[in-house]
Amino acid sequence: MNKLISFFIISISFTVFAQDTIRVIQPDTTQKIKTYSVSEFKKETNKLVQDKNFLTANIGLVVKSLQNGEVLYSTNENKLFVPASNMKLFTTAAGLEILGSKYRFITSLYVNGEISYSTIYGDLVIKGSGDPTFSGRFYDGNIFKAFDNWVDSLIDLGITSIRGNIVGDDNLFDDNNYGIGWSRDYESYWYAAPSGALSFNDNCVDITLFYNKELDSVIVRHTPEIRGIIIINEVIPVSPGEAATNIDIFREPNSNKIKVFGTFSRTSDTLKTYASVYNPTYFFLNVFKNRLESRGIKVIGYAVDIDDYNKSIDYDSAIHLFNYPSPYLYEIIKVINKGSQNFYAEQLLRGLGAEKKGFGSIENGVNACEEWYSLVGLNPEHILMYDGSGLSPLNKVTPNQIIKLLEVMYKSKNFPFFVNSLPIAGIDGTLSRRMKNSVAEYKVRAKTGFISFARNLSGYAKTQDNEDIAFSILVNNFNVPVKLVENLQDNICNLIASISRKE
């Protein structure tokens, strides 16, 4: 029985390569789709892989039938490649299989003290578990919704005053907030936001820019507006013809002083960008404290990280107020894979370490993954894992291990959740603009991956006979435009989708 959904296909679109040129042949929807036998597929794929544009590149490629196990094409299948965000396939697969599709991160609120009438005498303690979802992603864009739900719960309990501190217990995760091998140059940007057992808004500040004609200046605003976040506006307005809109940000190390700089065209629409924060726990606590006070709950004390807390907490004797569960894991992995969200992947890896080893660190998360790899027949020695997202250039994996992972998940009860988390060619996620109006549109569900000198694509496809295929196309160390590498991958996917064993 075919596990992948079969879709209506329009036509095939190939890109013809020539040195330093990219020429795209547009599909003719009036023509019948050309099909390829397996031998023809191999011949055409060879032409693409051996194109002189990729003479200096390293290409690893495996195409395998999930119906009968036949390898339709392979080259450099056991060589190690930098996987970039293809590493997320391993993180999300391990998460589903180890934790279960309906796993939830649980954040708990306690009182370290006592409650008398409407007042908490003591400290409100928030015990974090690494939930990445305190943002607008699951709340119609309202980044404060989860916190406001907490405030509602406290109001329902009759609480109007907290005569103590708001304490954040982030000790389930270690304080190494970044992946192993990450460049310090990344740290200002959303895609390298730090991890933490307590995290808010992907541990980023939302920054909005727009041109004010009356002031002839660029206005920079940020959300959330809390104590400690300092935005320095060095953006210069320019007229069309002078320069284009080109905005960058820089957060000073170990600080939440964020400089926004560059040029902004006077004719540009409102622009939104993001900056990562320093110390996710204090960011989380200060935002929550503000929400409490904005709703009339008076807080006498301060936001306090548990590392700076001068009292002990016995959770068995503390007053447990309530637990707050995250959305299910099968919903969380959609964010990770469709949008290639690094922060969520890093939270999941550390969450695996916390659940299986008692403490959320990269090392414990990797150990939990490696134990599962060995259990299901993957070779951990051919999967060098230094983070959960693939941002680290130290990560290495072979095409064969990716194919084996895809096979394991294809046979798993969690396959529907796994495959539904992957971008659909021409439709959504990071593949929304690729393979549009081609034979591969709808027929390919795959994870992209991109860091310097690595552009990868791995996942599932259907042939013209609805035969399920697993494929991995890893391209490293290329010296041509990224678009050319994408066209190579897209053309191979078109060929896979055009295979027919019928004469």
Q: If you average pLDDT over residues 106-134, what whole number do you get?
A: 97
pLDDT above 80: residue 163:
yes
pLDDT above 50: residue 345:
yes
pLDDT above 50: residue 10:
no
Q: If you average pLDDT over residues 262-268, what whole number do you get?
A: 96
Q: Work out the mean pLDDT of the chain and round it to a whole number.
A: 93
Q: If you average pLDDT over residues 254-270, what whole number do you get?
A: 96
CA distances from 58 to 28, 118, 180, 399, 415 (A): 33, 66, 24, 12, 30
According to DSSP, the residues that pair with 163 across neighbouring strands are: 121
Task: Check residue 67 and give its pLDDT.
Answer: 95
CA distances from 117 to 114, 157, 158, 161 (A): 10, 9, 7, 10
Q: If you average pLDDT over residues 442-452, what whole number do you get?
A: 97
Q: If you average pLDDT over residues 292-296, what whole number do you get?
A: 96
**% of the chain with per-residue pLDDT over 90:** 92
Indicate the pLDDT class of residue 33, thresholds 50, 70 and 90.
Answer: confident
Q: Structural domains in the chain? A: 15-101+330-497 (3.40.710.10), 106-178+280-327 (3.50.80.20), 184-276 (no CATH)
Strand order through the sheet with 444-451? 71-75, 58-65, 468-476, 454-462, 444-451
Lowest mean pLDDT among 15-29, 196-210, 231-245, 396-410: 15-29
Q: If you average pLDDT over residues 296-305, what whole number do you get?
A: 96
Task: Check residue 185 and give its pLDDT.
Answer: 93
Task: Check residue 12 and give its pLDDT.
Answer: 35
Strand order through the sheet with 230-238? 230-238, 257-265, 246-251
Q: Are 218 and 235 in contact (CB under 8 A)?
A: yes
pLDDT above 50: residue 146:
yes
Q: How far from chain centre, in Å, is Cα 166?
A: 30
pLDDT above 60: residue 367:
yes
Helix count and strand count (H, E) for the chain: 10, 22
Q: If you average pLDDT over residues 61-86, what whole number do you get?
A: 98
Cis status, amide bond into 327, omega within 30 of 0: no
User: How many whole angstroms separate alpha carbon 143 and alpha carbon 484?
Assistant: 38
User: How many whole angstroms separate alpha carbon 101 and alpha carbon 391?
Assistant: 25
Closest Cα partner for 318 from 137, 113, 496, 129?
113
Task: Check residue 15 and give its pLDDT.
Answer: 35
Q: Are 203 and 131 in contact (CB under 8 A)?
A: no
**% of the chain with per-residue pLDDT over 70:** 94
Higher-confidence position of 461 and 29: 461
pLDDT above 80: residue 456:
yes
Indicate the pLDDT class of residue 6, thresholds 50, 70 and 90.
Answer: very low
pLDDT above 70: residue 427:
yes
Radius of gyration of the chain (CA): 25
Indicate the pLDDT class of residue 31, thresholds 50, 70 and 90.
Answer: low
pLDDT above 80: residue 83:
yes
At residue 428, what are phi and psi to the nearest 5 degrees?
A: -150, 175
According to DSSP, the residues that pair with 271 across neighbouring strands are: 209
pLDDT above 60: residue 20:
no
CA distances from 443 to 26, 240, 459 (A): 19, 42, 11
User: How many whole angstroms separate alpha carbon 195 and alpha carbon 362?
Assistant: 10
Q: If you average pLDDT over residues 176-202, what whole number do you get?
A: 96
Q: Which residues contact 28 (CB under 8 A, 6 or more apart)?
A: 11
Indicate the pLDDT class of residue 503, thresholds 50, 70 and 90.
Answer: low
Closest Cα partner for 216 from 269, 249, 265?
265
Indicate the pLDDT class of residue 1, thresholds 50, 70 and 90.
Answer: very low
pLDDT above 60: residue 17:
no
Indicate the pLDDT class of residue 240, thresholds 50, 70 and 90.
Answer: confident
Would residue 201 be called left, alpha or beta, if left means φ above 0 and alpha means ψ between -120 and 50 degrees? left
Side-chain-side CA neighbours of 211 within 13 Å: the count stands at: 14
Closest Cα partner for 349 from 91, 137, 69, 35?
91
* Structural element, H or E, at residue 406: helix 399-410
